[in-house]
Structures are given as structure tokens and as C-alpha cells.
A and B are shown apart, each in its own frame.
Chain A
Amino acid sequence: MRVACKRSAGGVSCEAAVGFPAAENALFPESSRMAGFGHEAAEAEVVDPATAARNARYGLVLFALYFSFYAVFVVLNAFQPTAMSVTLMGVNLAIIYGMGLIIAALVLALIYCWLCRGRVEPVSAGHEPASGVGQ
């Protein structure tokens, strides 16, 4: 809720924008009311199911990609550790692959952000979101 306050010679007078009586304001000054504490904290976001479904789809594809990259790394370390000693430009595969995983996470994250920009125009009424994420 929004409260407009005016400083005058007599002190501070407040007027709430959304039907909040001024008398009550005096009882509960701003500091004790903990504005934004309750569930009404953030403004409700307009959810567009088509966009949400598209984003979720991209997310899952990128997730699968990264998960495979990570899984191969873990399995190699566990069951084929000698493969990690292959050396390229003086640095072994263990370090190159590890750094690669860190860099890949950032690159995929940037790709995801780029893919998710903008909204999807709804195709037709009653469109079923592909992954069941939309509501």
C-alpha cells in the first residue's frame, strides 16, 4: 500500500492511498508495519502460458545438454581416471574439462537468456502448453 506523507509545521501527516485510515497510520508508524512483509509483497505478474511453456522447453533442452556433459565428466573420473591425464598444451584433461564445465554453464545460461527474450504470441485459444508448466 502506498502512503503519502507531508511534513508541515505541526508535524508529519500521512494519507494512505488505498483506503487506509489516517488514524490507524498514527497507531502503526511505517517502521512497525513492516510493509511488504505479507503475501501481497510482490505485484502479481501477468503469466503468459505460451511464453512460459516455450521457456520451459528451452530450459529442459539446455539442461539435458549440460547434464550429459557433466555426467560424462563424473563417469570418466570414476571409472576411467587415466583418460583425465591426457595432456593438451601442457594442461591435463581433468583441468580443461573442469574449466570447460564452468565456462559451459555460463555460455548456456547466456544462450538461454537470449532464447527467452520477448513473448510468444498465443497461437490459438485453448492452446495446450507442451510441458504442463503453464497454468
Chain B
Amino acid sequence: MIPDPSPLAIAVFVAITLGLSFWFGAKAKSAAGYFAAGGQIHWFVNGVAFAGDYLSAASFLGICGMISLFGYDGFLYSIGFLAGWVVALFVIAEPLKRLGKYTFADALNSQFQSRGITFAAGTSALVVSVFYLIPQMVGAGSLIVPLLGLAHWQGVVIVGTVVVLIVCTAGMVSTTYVQFIKGGLLVLFSGLLTVLILNRGLKVDERPEAMAPQVVATTPGGTKLINGLPHGKGQGEADLRPVGHLSKLPDGKKETGPLSPREYLATLQQSEIVLWKSETTSGENGKVVTYSPVPTAGADVLLPGRKYTDLRSDKLWGKIDFVSLMLALFCGTASLPHVLIRYYTVKDQAAARLSTVVGIATIGAFYVLTLFMGLGAMTSGTIDLTDSNMAAPLLAKNYGNLLFAIISAIAFTTVLGTVSGLIVAASGAVVHDLVVGVLGIPLKDQHKVRVGKIAAAIVGLIAVALGIWFKGFNAGFLVGWAFSVAASANLPALVMILFWRGTTKQGVTAAILVGMFSSLAWILVSAETFQNVYGYTKDQAAKLAWVPFSQPGLVTIPLGFATLVLVSLLTRRSRIQ
């Protein structure tokens, strides 16, 4: 779709984004620590900041988009993302706070002081952060397109530049307060959007053009034709229509009026919703993508299995793939470096506990809202067929440009904040773990900060490049990968150090490296990667894949545990001596 930027939207957007980011950026320069805010953040602020960190592009843009396209299956991500916090709170938070000082590697190393562990943990923190950065960058690019009318890559470059500037001038204190405000605003405005959706209720769209198929043809010369006309907004040109509507309501009604949350879901379940499927054909005359409407029973849309189609078939590997994804989501949260780092910004264990509870409440409330926002986008004619990440902001546009600008600005600043948090975590890993810990280069504090800032700039550059490369992917889907790698690499080491006395330093190092490389390798040779990244068709990808299902977690998380136990048993004597 070609964007339609409004001056009001741009003004509000720029004011909110820059205001928030630089106000705190300026405030934080003098005072406290760059990496961990000196452990002085109040637990409530930290708890909402958890939400600000966590509810990134993947949640707001990715999940809403996925729900708007596939219905219930997108909500499964919401459930998995939230459930992971239970692991963080009940198993990890307090011991981690007790053992560590600074980074995840510190906690792992509290009883060993091993260079091997520092290297493995630092590397995995860096790899996971970069993986997690990709969807944020992709999402930020998507947001910029309709709002400012720029190209996707320009959006990614802008985000990269602003974030590196923020990180280089501020650090963890400003990041925390910015995340606190953004986390709060995101939930409040999502709530407002949900109230508007429920208040409008559901409505049948009977216009014949709502059901017209759409065709995008790209000629070998690169010219794009939409429904046979040149792509554009002018006379004699055409652009893709936003889609998504109801074709039937229960009892032959045309409009429901305001509904309660339960009534909304119950009515939808008895309605008929028009979803869209796409078919791509490539030939001598170029590539043709045809989008056609598929009227679908609401009861079907609100059940699992529209995205994970194997859930409704007898394909065992497909079902196992799903279980593997849900396991990775469950285990991933407590293994993410930028979540773990937030346990060091509060005073003590009680504060760590309380801030996690505040985090769970805020994040849980938001995930309940994603279902309504996604379904709202699905039935309000606000789905951009070429970019699922834009469902929530375009839904807001449905209620006026001002709300659109505010929601986009919040989403964008949330991305900025998450990206800065990730970059701080990554640069912390580079400086503390790799440069000082592994290479053994003694650095004075101000040199550490300088090296940290250089590392931040480099990580930012890598993230920008990857963000441009992965354009068009659903952000929620991409985050699933980051969770798999994080859970496989970090969780076995973390849990076993906390709960098994037989753990040795060799065991921990081996578990992190094996978990990280096995999950990365699994992803790189999976059918989903062959199809989406290397560009094969679905059937080719299924044949080329080296592994029977795409999500690594179910194999690589146990593999990490097994490696740790085995290597620890083999090297145990060295520990006793």
C-alpha cells in the first residue's frame, strides 16, 4: 500500500518520540550508572519498565497483525510470551539477583570465575540480543512507511541512528524511565483502542467491492501493476485496498451497536468473517500475486489451526513443531539478556519479586487487549495485505489521524526503547564479558564506557542491516527465533547453576555453546528458513530441510541440559580438587 501521511500525525509523532527520548537522555547524563542504573530503581517503575522492554514491536505489531490475519493462532503467541514470566518469577528472579552483580555472565560465574563461562555467556548474550533486534528493526521500518511516507529501509536507518544516539548519551537510567512511560502509555492506549472497538461493535460490509480479489503483478522489468493498472495514487493508477470485514452477523443483523468483551467474542463466533489468502505464480511474464477473499465461519477463526494448519491434520511433525514453539516461548523469557539485566536495576530480591509481579500484571493486561485489537483490525477493513505488522496502527487510523499518530508514536518509541535496552545489554556483554573478562584487558571505568559506546554503535549498524534484509517478515514470528536461541543457550546453564551442586564450569560452558550453536544451526536448515529466507517454494523447502520440524526448542533445550549434566559428570573431579 502507498502511504498517505498527514501533517498532524507527523507533528504529534515527532514531538512524542523525540520529547520522550531526549528528555530522559539529557537528564541521565550526569547521575547514575550506564549499565545497571546503580541498582536504585523503584520496583514499581522497574515493573512497568519490564513491560516497556518486553512489549516490543513483536507484541504490539506482530501479534496484533497475526491475529488479524489468522485469528486465534496469533493469540497463542500472547499466551506463550506471558507464561514465560512465570519461569522468570518463580525460578530465576531471586537467585539471580542474589548471585549476580551485573550481567548474566556474572551470575553464572559467581562460584567459578571461569574465563570459558564468561566467553560463552557473553557470546550468547550478544547473539540473542542481535536476533531479538531484527524484529524490532523490521517493525520500526513498517511503522515509518505509512506514517512519514518514507521507504522501509529509511525507517530502519532512522531508528538505528536515533537509538545509537540515545544509548551513547544516556544508558540504563534513562532507558528505564523511558520504558516506564512507554510501557504505561502502550497499555493505556491499547485499552482506549479496545474500548473504541467494543463501543463500535460489529458491522456487516455489503459493498460488492469489499469482496473483489486483488492482483499484484510485477513485470520482469520491475514495473508493478495493481489490478491491471500502474501502481500509484494518481488518475489511472491503482493501489491495494486495505481489507478485512464481516459478511454475516448472527440472526441476519447488519449492525450490533456497543458490545461487552464477552458479547464481542460470542457474536464474532457466530458470524462469518472474510479472510484473505494469497497465491503467487512466477513465470516468464514476471511474478503475479493474487489475493482472494475467503468467507470463514467465526467459530473457525477463534480456534487454533488457521496458521498452524497441521494442528487440524494428522501430521505429527507439524504438531511437534507447535509444541516446540510453545516450549521455547515458555522458556525464552527468563533467558533473555535484556530481561535478566533488569533484575540488577532494583535494590534487592523483594524488589525484584515485586517488580516482576507488576510486570506480569501490565503485560498480561496488554496481551488480553491484543486479542480484541487483532480481531478489531480483522473486521474493520484495516489490514494491509503486504505487511501484517501494520494491523494495530492502521486500526487506530480508522478512528482518526490523531489516535493513529499517538499509537504509532508510542509503538515507535517502544521499539526505540527496546532496541536501546538490547543494545545496552549487548554492549555490556562485549565490554564486561568479552573485552575485560576473556581478553583480560584492564579498562578504567571511563574507558569501559567508551568501549561500550563503540560496541553499541557497531551492534546498531548490524541491526540496521539485518532489519532491512528481513523486511516483510512478521515481527512476532521473528521473535520466536530469538526465544528459541535464548532458551536453548541460557536456560540450562542458569537453572542448573541455581539448583544442582554438581554443576562444573566446563559443563556450563559446554551447555551454553552447544545450546546456542545447535539451535542456530537447526533454524538455518529448517523448512521455514528455506521458504522464507532463502526464497524456495513451500514444497521445495519441505524437501530441502535437514530437520523434520522448524522450531528447535523441543530438541535443543533438553540437549543443553543433557550436555551440562554429561560434561559436569565427566569433569567433576576437577571441581573437587
Contact A42 B356 (CB under 8 A): no
Tell whether A85 pairs with B299 under 8 Å between CB atoms, given A47-B98, A91-B262, A109-B357.
Answer: yes
Contacts between chains A and B (CB distance < 8 A), count: 190
B5, CB-defined interface residue at 8 Å: no
Contact A56 B94 (CB under 8 A): yes
Binding site for A on B (CB under 8 A): 29-40, 72, 75-76, 78-79, 82-83, 85-87, 89-91, 94-95, 97-98, 101-102, 106, 262-263, 265-267, 269-270, 299, 302-305, 311-312, 319-320, 322-323, 326-327, 330, 344, 347-350, 353-354, 356-357, 360-361, 364, 367-368, 371, 445-446, 448-449, 498-501
Contact B445 A59 (CB under 8 A): no
Known pairs A42-B347, A74-B323, A102-B368. 20 more at Cβ < 8 A?
A28-B446, A31-B30, A34-B33, A41-B38, A41-B39, A42-B344, A63-B87, A70-B326, A90-B270, A94-B304, A95-B72, A98-B79, A98-B371, A105-B83, A105-B86, A106-B364, A108-B90, A109-B86, A109-B89, A133-B498
Option from B97, B106, B266 in Cβ contact (under 8 Å) with A89: B266
A19, CB-defined interface residue at 8 Å: no
Per the bound structure, the CA–CA distance linking A130 and B78 in Å amounts to 35
> Which residues of B lie under 8 Å from residue A73 when comparing CB positions?
79
Per the bound structure, the CA–CA distance linking A45 and B327 in Å amounts to 34
Binding site for B on A (CB under 8 A): 28, 30-39, 41-43, 45, 47, 52, 55-56, 59-60, 62-63, 66-67, 70, 73-75, 77-79, 81, 84-85, 87, 89-92, 94-95, 98-99, 101-103, 105-106, 108-110, 112-113, 116, 131-133, 135
- Chain A residue nearest to B30 (CB atoms) is A31
- Chain A residue nearest to B36 (CB atoms) is A41
Per the bound structure, the CA–CA distance linking A91 and B302 in Å amounts to 9
Per the bound structure, the CA–CA distance linking A18 and B76 in Å amounts to 54
Per the bound structure, the CA–CA distance linking A99 and B327 in Å amounts to 18
> Which residues of B lie under 8 Å from residue A59 when comparing CB positions?
89-91, 94
Contact A31 B29 (CB under 8 A): yes
Contact A77 B311 (CB under 8 A): yes
> Which residues of B lie under 8 Å from residue A38 when comparing CB positions?
445
The secondary structure that dominates the A interface is: helix
Tell whether A43 pairs with B39 under 8 Å between CB atoms, given A78-B319, A90-B269, A102-B368.
Answer: yes
- Chain A residue nearest to B349 (CB atoms) is A45
Contact A84 B265 (CB under 8 A): no
Tell whether A131 pairs with B302 under 8 Å between CB atoms, given A39-B102, A41-B39, A110-B357.
Answer: no
Chain B: minimal CB distance from A122 (Å): 17
Provide 6 A-B residue pairs closer than 8 Å at the C-beta atoms, listed in order of the A residue: A56-B94, A87-B269, A95-B371, A103-B364, A113-B357, A133-B499
- Chain A residue nearest to B319 (CB atoms) is A78
